[in-house]
Amino acid sequence: MSQKQQEIISMFDNIADSYDLANRVMSCGVDIAWRKKACNFVFKNLNTKSLENLCIVDVACGTGDMINHWLKNANSNHLQIQKIVGIDPSKNMLEVAKKKLPNITFIQSEATKLPLENQSFDVLSIAYGIRNVVERKKAFEEFSRVLKKEGLLVILEFTKCENPSFMEKLMGFYTKNILPFIGGIISKNYKAYKYLPDSIEEFLTAKKLILELEELGFSPVYTKSFSANVCTLLIFKKN
Ligand SMILES: C[S@@+](CC[C@H](N)C(=O)[O-])C[C@H]1O[C@@H](n2cnc3c(N)ncnc32)[C@H](O)[C@@H]1O
């Protein structure tokens, strides 16, 4: 593993205990609607065969927020999830997740090395995680390997804006200057929350992310940007 990747993972180890609180305060809870949108789209668009025996893996699961949303929204859609697994390389983030969701299987591993069988999942989600994966192409190849044919890849991520509008600049100011300040106070780790805007700046635009995935055999089926394009929900089908 590269030193950069190691540093990113240990940064999450250091902020694990305050992660949930910082997340809720910084997003003012609006991420809940984005996560719900992702789950509902999947439940409405998966084929019947997949819905009858639904297997979901959440990569970069952190403290288990997205898994919680899969469970809640399946329930409200009267669906049963056959199997759901959370994967993350940060031991401390997983410890928080295990306390919140003691009946769920969590595995400590990276997106580039999923300890899962070929073509064994109907849905693979990664929420605010892919930006932290240094070897992104390798991870996408793993996602393709573990997803069944026509399985859905769900990505929620802070994406970079090209030629930002006034509103986008305003949101950019909030993300760059206010968020690290609030996150720094809650976690007592300013550096970790300064990483957030820096990593968005280094990341791709939604358009480029789509192109990367198309080259690897995924077709975009749904794209929606939220909060002046700060966050994008992208859903792909494995060809
Ligand atoms: C911003 S948190 C998101 C957590 C969770 N998905 C959520 O929605 O709240 C990013 C997560 O990515 C994980 N991560 C960092 N590098 C990773 C890698 N190479 N493979 C998989 N996960 C990684 C971190 O440990 C951290 O838990």
* Token code pair at residue 11: 């940064």
* Site residues for ligand 1, CB cut-off 6 Å: 5, 8-9, 12, 59-62, 65-66, 88-90, 93, 110-111, 127-129, 132-133
Contact (CB, 8 A) for 122 and 82: no
What DSSP line would sit under 166-222, residue for residue? HHHHHHHHIIIIIHHHHHHHHHS-HHHHHHHHHHHHHS--HHHHHHHHHHTTEEEEE
Domains and CATH numbers, the chain: 3-238 (3.40.50.150)
Among the listed residues 66, 74, 83, 55, the one whose alpha carbon sits nearest the alpha carbon of residue 156: 66
Q: What is the mean pLDDT of the chain?
A: 91
Ligand 1 atom at minimal distance to the Cα of residue 93? 27
Low-confidence residues in the chain, pLDDT < 50: none
- pLDDT for residue 177: 82
- pLDDT for residue 195: 86
- pLDDT for residue 192: 82
The answer to whether 88 is annotated as binding is: yes
Question: How far from the centroid of its chain's Cα atoms is residue 86's Cα?
Answer: 11
Contact (CB, 8 A) for 233 and 208: no
Compute, in angstroms, the gap from residue 110 CA to the centroid of ligand 1.
9
Ligand 1 atom at minimal distance to the Cα of residue 16? 27
Compute, in angstroms, the gap from residue 169 CA to the centroid of ligand 1.
26
